[in-house]
Amino acid sequence: MKPLFSLESLDYDNIENQLFLEEEEQMSPMFLQCVEISRWVVCGLTGFLTGLLAFFVNIVVEILSSYKYQTVKSYIDGFTEDGRLCASMMLWTMLNLAFVLAGALAVAFFEPIAAGSGIPQIKCYLNGVKIPHVVRLKTLVIKVFGVICSVVGGLAVGKEGPMIHSGAVVAAGISQGRTTSLKKDFRIFEYFRRDTEKRDFVSAGAAAGVSAAFGAPVGGVLFSLEEGASFWNQMLTWRMFFASMISTFTLNFFRSFRHGKGGELSNPGLINFGQFENGAYKLYEIPIFMCMGAVGGLLGAGFNFLNYWLTIFRIRYIHRSFLQVTEAALAAVVSITVPFMLIYWSDDCQTLGEEQAVEHALQMFCPDGEYNSFATAFLNTPESSIRSLFHRPPGSYNSLTLFFFTFVYFFLACWTYGLTVSAGVFIPSLLLGAAWGRLIGSLLANCGVSIWADPGKYALMGAAAQLGGIVRMTLSLTVIMVEATGNVTYGLPIMLVLMTAKIVGDYFGEGLYDIHIKLQSVPFLAWDAPATSHSLTAREVMSSPVTCFSRIERVGTIVDVLSDTASKHNGFPIVSEFITSEVFLRRSVSSTVAVFVERTRLNQRRLMLKDFRDAYPRFPPIQSIHVSQDERECTMDLTEFMNPTPYTVPQETSLPRVFKLFRALGLRHLVVVNNENRVVGLVTRKDLARYRLGKHGLEELYLAQT
Amino acid sequence: MKPLFSLESLDYDNIENQLFLEEEEQMSPMFLQCVEISRWVVCGLTGFLTGLLAFFVNIVVEILSSYKYQTVKSYIDGFTEDGRLCASMMLWTMLNLAFVLAGALAVAFFEPIAAGSGIPQIKCYLNGVKIPHVVRLKTLVIKVFGVICSVVGGLAVGKEGPMIHSGAVVAAGISQGRTTSLKKDFRIFEYFRRDTEKRDFVSAGAAAGVSAAFGAPVGGVLFSLEEGASFWNQMLTWRMFFASMISTFTLNFFRSFRHGKGGELSNPGLINFGQFENGAYKLYEIPIFMCMGAVGGLLGAGFNFLNYWLTIFRIRYIHRSFLQVTEAALAAVVSITVPFMLIYWSDDCQTLGEEQAVEHALQMFCPDGEYNSFATAFLNTPESSIRSLFHRPPGSYNSLTLFFFTFVYFFLACWTYGLTVSAGVFIPSLLLGAAWGRLIGSLLANCGVSIWADPGKYALMGAAAQLGGIVRMTLSLTVIMVEATGNVTYGLPIMLVLMTAKIVGDYFGEGLYDIHIKLQSVPFLAWDAPATSHSLTAREVMSSPVTCFSRIERVGTIVDVLSDTASKHNGFPIVSEFITSEVFLRRSVSSTVAVFVERTRLNQRRLMLKDFRDAYPRFPPIQSIHVSQDERECTMDLTEFMNPTPYTVPQETSLPRVFKLFRALGLRHLVVVNNENRVVGLVTRKDLARYRLGKHGLEELYLAQT
């Protein structure tokens, strides 16, 4: 399959060329301290703005949902006796459709990358693959607008995944001190305009996003580490934690005022699972939980399998924008009509007790003083449905209701993920799992297997199992779940459930995010090289032959090489008379040539590192630079731009060694040399990412060019 | 200063020699799966045994303390009216002295490495420096015995730090499947007998220890990562988390039975800060908290400074075992008499209300129905003193009591850390901080600065500030404190307090653990190379000349080189006709020679990787191998033992690049080559660790040999 967009690798390695060393020499300790303080300021601001953004999304969704609910409810209440419920349904459907259409149109026509949860894209970014537009301001705006529309529009989606993407965009924007979308440069934080720094900030932003979404600052840090960082850096982690803390605090602080309890910080995240008061379980319940984990793994694998085929179908047939919008509209209509039909058939009426307020209770076809629990589960925001599944007293839900709900919601959620709307899969997964978890809990209580079966506890485990089965995250998910429940006693069972779900799920296939990453054939690097690949050497893995430059090179040659679209790499070894090899990058090269040309024309100042930073991250393509015939004949000294001591490996180095070096240092190119220290090849991300351990030993994959 | 013991570096890099590749080829996927499962089993067992050990320590301390208290109390109650309180005091002193003497004797004469908290040693181990005996079973036994004695003996110590060391020993022991102390080899987990695997397990063990000590599984994982790992490995972290979870669960589970509430899991750690019910603070309190952080940083710096000079004094004058025991005995006597004098002077009597049980309340010189709060604070276990400082209602403590307590306890704790007893500094620091924190809280409430000042909250912040000021841990400490309080709302202020304490403290000097590491001149690698060291190159950093071998080498030459104690390194490049360079290690070499000699004598089987694993980690010294004159003339082919593709760097590589490579990959030696790929030098841990950024730019330190 062809890649959907052009990809580039990020470079996490400092290019220590002459310009860099010159700049460093002029740095005072004072300046370095300022830089360090700026890093903290950027992280603090990121946290603050992410929290604020989460608050904004939350409040807008709340207001719009409530408005929608009031409108529809007044209609239903007015028409129930007339039997013209159908009209209310139509109204409701139209309202939902309008919201979803607005969101889908914005995404499809303005910024397609804002579709989905954005987590796969952020995973790729943290892994070192740059996906175009992923951290632009425009993407953020569309994403926020889109997610509000899809949540209010009643799709089976959550607003938590997009928060992670939003946090990442906020971090990237602030750290660069400018926005390409608005073409505005604030001339601040210019020092951070390079891949290394930007990626660090993006990981802090993602952590802040998780933190705001789930009220889980530690979980956020672990999420970023689990998904991204390979090299553990203490100061970076500490800054990530700072951003996360500020983010959850900001959200909490503003929400406390919104709820009229200024300063009482009890709503740390967008979703709050609520307190599990009787936080206790018996030892013999652990096997039951683990079985639930297995169920979650199975259901998750099924979900992913269906979604995989659906995505293939979409890539083949639904690639035009208007088709995508149509599909989203269809999903919106189905998401409301199918539940309605079920509500019509179901007769799960619950007494509307006074001691327990039920959010947005719907009477529907029930007698007065009662409400339809099916309708309430379906037509509420997913967050409040999850909370009721966790905390309503035993007997609040009919088993049949839960079964049908699970069944229908499974397909709805599966269909919805991948639609051209901004939406996350976390909340639907949790809701799905909570439903069947509570079902299992109720059944166990009925069967008398467990003497004391609190269905809410089983709902929690089911939610963990289902989410784990779909996304296959482990460590960070455990911590997120523990932080969201605010109860450390459930830590062990949640961990065991997630492990079981992952093991069972992995037997059948990959996690949802990995599937989507693979479908876009992104060269995603795993944690380690495949086991038993020591017999494979750099010689077999590397790309060769490599185009090399010499230290003094004709401008014409450089321009020709760079213009040659068939040349695969962005880095070119520079081979000098000393047989050493050095690398520098195409993107910088074109800038270099550009400025060189300018310089020869104007006989002007020397090139400085600042010029590269100003151009970052969109260095001008070589085609945009006009080079005259005279200039082509000039020679250029590349010495000051090259990295004189790149990391190299001998060609007999085994794949795991190459992999470890590449991954631990976040390299973009690795030069392979022979015994005489001559360049024989270049290893790039793609060369390493294509080897996977399949069922029949090592396998090679097709991957997009980087 | 001379190092106190010989140090060796751990090697985190796989030596991919021929033997390794041959072994790998024979590995079936089945075997690899078994290895992976074994890793989980080892981590699970480590967690279980660490939890069990914590339970054991806890219960023994509880029983002995309670016995001691009952004995003394019955005496005091009997004699108060007679005015012969003095006799009871004597009895109490004798009891304490006996316990402390027993502990000090065991440590001083059987295993001196078991002294202190063990955290600096574990930090070194995780950093890659092996300190002899640090993970031996004997050390564990002495440590556990010693810590029980010092806690029951009433020293100003805690049992939490030693738990971390204990967890690490447990992990090392289980993963190696044998014990050197008992000379027993269980022939299990033989695959794990190498530095890489052992260090992974030790980090999991340390995490399990933290988890058991504070009921903080996530904090434990972060502790191990913060202190040790440089390369973030997802699976390893996940296993560490598993061990931590099991550990806290085990402790919790057994304690629930001990407390007669089987299965109710509410005591996750050795120390439990208790629930902070009204977990709220106002925004304007945050600056107050941060000021407290600054106070903590100052006090911590003072503490560390005093302890530094005390340690220097000890190294110079108190190095004989019997002197060390005498000092410990003196400390025991002072720790009880000074408080007594203060109790005698003080008249802080509190009513013994019925609504609140005061653990181990002492009437002393107070009227009937009241108890002396000073005596209770001093003569209780530190853990319960901390809990009362956190949770007793306002007015339970006289401000003067708190002031004198802080003053006296500061010096006591400072003296105690570094005594030849097993003891931790975590709990004394927390107690100290809680005391002055509560003092500040009470003063604020009296001054009317804060309308609603809960002194317990300030005690918590003070505890965090003081501990942060002494040990200077940041991320992991925040998470540990949050987990121990079980309240995520305090996360942000605790983090800010710890940050302030660290910044203020770092201005005056290093953290306590780092001071002790430096005093033993351990080549401890920081996270990054010093800033602005790019102008320093490998050529200036490396050691040269390097003793090299050729592929086919005379046995005599090898033996001579290995026997030469002046030769500084443990790795020797092998230079072949192809000008490449390869490294292998002295420790393995001597084994190689040993087996080679044996082989030539008996004409026997080939050497296998298993032979090295069997010898690990104490390879026979070359002196122990008798090599005859004939054998000296034989030649040996080193090809199969050498690593054919070591990581190398050109000699112009900057220090930060070398550092990053060394640290990220956990190397032990890095070969420096010239342009012709010839070996010109070797960079070891020591070469990198000696550069620090001081106040006047780069500084070189004296370091122990590795």
Percent of chain A with pLDDT over 70: 81
Q: Give residue-wise pLDDT tens across range A165-192.
A: 999 999 998 888 877 777 777 777 777 8
Helix (H) or strand (E) holding B349: strand B349-351
Q: Which one has a higher pLDDT value, A589 or A285?
A: A285
What's the number of CA atoms in the CB half-sphere (13 Å) around residue B517?
27
Kindly state whether residues A75 and A212 are assigned to the same domain: yes
pLDDT at A678: 80
Tell me the range of A313-327, A534-548, A621-635 where mean pLDDT is highest.
Answer: A313-327
Which of B16, B232, B242 is facing A232, going by the closest CB pair? B232
Largest CA distance in chain B: 93
**Minimal CA separation from A122 to chain B, in Å:** 18
CA distance B210 to B50: 10
Select from B36, B457, B474, B488 the residue whose CB has the most chain A CBs within 10 Å, as the one to mutate to test that interface: B488
Q: Is A89 on the interface with B (CB under 8 A)?
A: no
What is the number of residues in chain B? 706
Q: Give residue-wise pLDDT tens across range A78-92.
A: 765 655 667 777 888
Q: Can the peptide bond before residue B428 be classed as cis, meaning omega within 30 degrees of 0? A: no
Q: Which one has a higher pLDDT value, A257 or A151?
A: A151
**Minimal CA separation from A532 to chain B, in Å:** 7
- Give the list of residues 6+ apart from residue B28 with CB closer than 8 angstroms, or none: none
Count CB-CB contacts under 10 A for residue A577: 8
Q: Is residue A131 part of a domain?
A: yes
Q: Is residue A123 part of a domain?
A: yes
Tell me the range of A102-111, A558-567, B598-607 where mean pLDDT is highest.
Answer: A102-111
Which of B32, B237, B491 is facing A245, going by the closest CB pair? B491
Select from B37, B265, B578 the residue whose CB has the most chain A CBs within 10 Å, as the one to mutate to test that interface: B265
> Closest chain A residue to B487 measured between Cα atoms?
A486
pLDDT at B444: 84
pLDDT at B301: 96
User: Does B478 contact A241 at a Cβ distance shorter than 8 Å?
Assistant: yes
**Minimal CA separation from A655 to chain B, in Å:** 11
Kindly state whether residues A93 and A194 are assigned to the same domain: yes
Kindly state whether residues B341 and B382 are assigned to the same domain: yes
Q: Give residue-wise pLDDT tens across range B336-348.
A: 888 777 777 766 6
Kindly state whether residues A301 and A408 are assigned to the same domain: yes
pLDDT at A410: 93
pLDDT at A706: 42
Q: Give residue-wise pLDDT tens across range A94-122.
A: 999 999 999 999 999 998 888 888 889 99
Residues forming beta bridges with residue A581, ordered by sequence position: A575
Kindly state whether residues A357 and A465 are assigned to the same domain: yes
Kindly state whether residues B208 and B236 are assigned to the same domain: yes
User: Does B579 contact A653 at a Cβ distance shorter than 8 Å?
Assistant: no
User: Does B675 contact A580 at a Cβ distance shorter than 8 Å?
Assistant: yes
Q: Encoding tokens for residue A316?
A: 């083949």
Size of interface A-B (CB pairs under 8 A): 186
pLDDT at A139: 92
Which 472-511 residues of chain B touch chain A by CB within 8 A?
A: 474-475, 478-479, 482-483, 486, 488-489, 491-492, 495, 499
* Average pLDDT along chain A: 81
User: Does A280 contact B263 at a Cβ distance shorter than 8 Å?
Assistant: yes
Q: Is B40 on the interface with A (CB under 8 A)?
A: no
Give the DSSP letter string of B579-635: --EEEEEHHHHHHHHHHHHHHHHHT-PPP-HHHHHHHTT-PPPGGGS---HHHHHSE
> How would you classify the pairing of strands B635-637 and B552-554?
antiparallel
User: Does A491 contact B16 at a Cβ distance shorter than 8 Å?
Assistant: no
User: Does A535 contact B226 at a Cβ distance shorter than 8 Å?
Assistant: no
Quote the Cα angle for A118-A121-A126, to 5°: 120
CA distance B176 to B196: 12
Question: What does residue A676 show for φ and ψ, rounded to 5 degrees?
Answer: -85, 10
In A276-338, DSSP assigns E strands to none
Q: Is residue B394 part of a domain?
A: yes
What is the number of residues in chain A? 706
Residue A359 identity: E
Select from A475, A490, A582 the residue whose CB has the most chain B CBs within 10 Å, as the one to mutate to test that interface: A475
Which residues does chain A have within 8 Å of residue B495's beta carbon, measured at their own beta carbons?
Answer: 241-242, 245
CA distance B48 to B60: 18
Q: In what order do the strands lie in the sheet with B669-673?
A: B648-650, B669-673, B679-684
Mean pLDDT, residues A306-333:
91
Whether A417 and A513 have beta carbons less than 8 Å apart is answered as no
Q: Which one has a higher pLDDT value, A296 or A73?
A: A296
User: Does B245 contact A492 at a Cβ distance shorter than 8 Å?
Assistant: yes
User: Does B241 contact A478 at a Cβ distance shorter than 8 Å?
Assistant: yes
pLDDT(B42) > 80: yes
Select from B248, B677, B692, B699 the residue whose CB has the most chain A CBs within 10 Å, as the one to mutate to test that interface: B677
pLDDT at B667: 83
Whether B217 and B211 have beta carbons less than 8 Å apart is answered as yes
Kindly state whether residues A501 and A547 are assigned to the same domain: no
pLDDT at B261: 67
Residue A84 identity: R
Residues forming beta bridges with residue B309, ordered by sequence position: none
Q: Is residue B505 part of a domain?
A: yes
Residue B580 identity: T
pLDDT at B75: 77
Q: Is residue B365 part of a domain?
A: yes
Closest by CA position to B171, among listed B199, B195, B151, B191: B199
Q: Is B661 on the interface with A (CB under 8 A)?
A: yes
Q: Give residue-wise pLDDT tens across range B614-672.
A: 767 666 666 666 777 777 777 777 777 777 788 888 888 888 888 888 888 888 888 88
pLDDT(B612) > 90: no
Question: What does residue B113 show for φ and ψ, rounded to 5 degrees?
Answer: -70, -15
User: Does A645 contact B650 at a Cβ distance shorter than 8 Å?
Assistant: yes
- Give the list of residues 6+ apart from residue A257 with CB closer than 8 angstroms, or none: none
Mean pLDDT, residues B469-479:
89
CATH number at residue B587: 3.10.580.10
Q: Is B34 on the interface with A (CB under 8 A)?
A: no
pLDDT at A452: 59
pLDDT at A705: 47
Q: Among B519, B553, B568, where does a domain finish?
A: B519
In B369-483, DSSP assigns E strands to 370-372
Alpha carbon A215 to chain centroid distance?
17
Q: Is B647 on the interface with A (CB under 8 A)?
A: yes
pLDDT at B1: 34
pLDDT at A584: 58
Q: Give residue-wise pLDDT tens across range B487-544.
A: 777 888 899 999 999 999 999 988 999 899 888 888 888 877 877 777 788 888 888 7
Residue B198 identity: K
Q: Is A664 on the interface with B (CB under 8 A)?
A: yes
pLDDT(A585) > 60: no
pLDDT(A278) > 50: yes
Question: What does residue B447 show for φ and ψ, rounded to 5 degrees?
Answer: -70, -15
Kindly state whether residues A369 and A239 are assigned to the same domain: no
Q: Supply the angle between the helices A382-391 and A455-471 in degrees, to the nearest 10.
A: 140
3-state secondary structure of B154: coil
Which residues does chain B have within 8 Å of residue A242's beta carbon, measured at their own beta carbons?
Answer: 495, 499
CA distance B189 to B197: 11
Which residues does chain B have within 8 Å of residue A665's beta carbon, measured at their own beta carbons?
Answer: 660-661, 664
Select from A238, A581, A649 the residue whose CB has the most chain B CBs within 10 Å, as the one to mutate to test that interface: A238
Whether A290 and A281 have beta carbons less than 8 Å apart is answered as no
Return contacts of B346-355, CB within 8 angstroms, 24+ apart.
B346/B372, B346/B374, B346/B398, B346/B400, B346/B401, B346/B404, B348/B372, B348/B373, B348/B374, B348/B397, B348/B398, B348/B400, B348/B401, B349/B373, B350/B396
Count CB-CB contacts under 10 A for residue B502: 23
Residue B199 identity: R
Question: What does residue B75 show for φ and ψ, rounded to 5 degrees?
Answer: -65, -50
Q: Which one has a higher pLDDT value, B400 or B270?
A: B400
pLDDT(A682) > 90: no
Q: Is residue B460 part of a domain?
A: yes
pLDDT at B101: 94
Q: Is B94 on the interface with A (CB under 8 A)?
A: no
Range of the domain at A75: 40-258
Q: Which one has a higher pLDDT value, B1 or B291?
A: B291
Q: Encoding tokens for residue A304?
A: 């992913």
Kindly state whether residues B224 and B252 are assigned to the same domain: yes
Tokens 């004189």 correspond to A644
Percent of chain B with pLDDT over 90: 24
pLDDT(A224) > 50: yes
pLDDT(A612) > 90: no
Min mean pLDDT across A409-413, B182-186, B200-204 is at B182-186
Which 549-588 residues of chain A touch chain B by CB within 8 A?
A: 578-580
Confidence of residue B163 (pLDDT cuts 50, 70, 90): very high
Confidence of residue A40 (pLDDT cuts 50, 70, 90): very high
> How would you classify the pairing of strands B669-673 and B679-684?
antiparallel
Kindly state whether residues B315 and B251 are assigned to the same domain: no
CATH number at residue A505: 1.10.3080.10
Which residues does chain A have within 8 Å of residue B492's beta carbon, measured at their own beta carbons?
Answer: 245-246, 248-249
Kindly state whether residues A507 and A551 are assigned to the same domain: no
Sign, Cα dihedral of B286, B288, B294, B300: negative
pLDDT(B705) > 60: no
Q: Is residue A372 part of a domain?
A: yes
Q: Is A37 on the interface with B (CB under 8 A)?
A: no
Mean pLDDT, residues B190-214:
88
pLDDT(A704) > 60: no
User: Does A241 contact B647 at a Cβ distance shorter than 8 Å?
Assistant: no
Give the DSSP letter string of A118-145: SHHHHHHHHHTEE-TTTT-HHHHHHHHH
* Domain count across chain A: 3
Which of B221, B489, B654 is facing A16, going by the closest CB pair? B654
Which residues does chain B have within 8 Å of residue A265's beta carbon, measured at their own beta carbons?
Answer: 280-281, 489
Give the DSSP letter string of B319-344: -SHHHHHHHHHHHHHHHHHHHHHHHH
Q: Is residue B297 part of a domain?
A: yes
pLDDT at A1: 34
Kindly state whether residues B454 and B556 are assigned to the same domain: no
Which of A217, A478, A675 is facing B580, going by the closest CB pair? A675
Residue B530 DSSP code: P
ipTM of the complex: 0.88
Q: Give residue-wise pLDDT tens across range A661-680.
A: 888 888 888 888 887 778 88
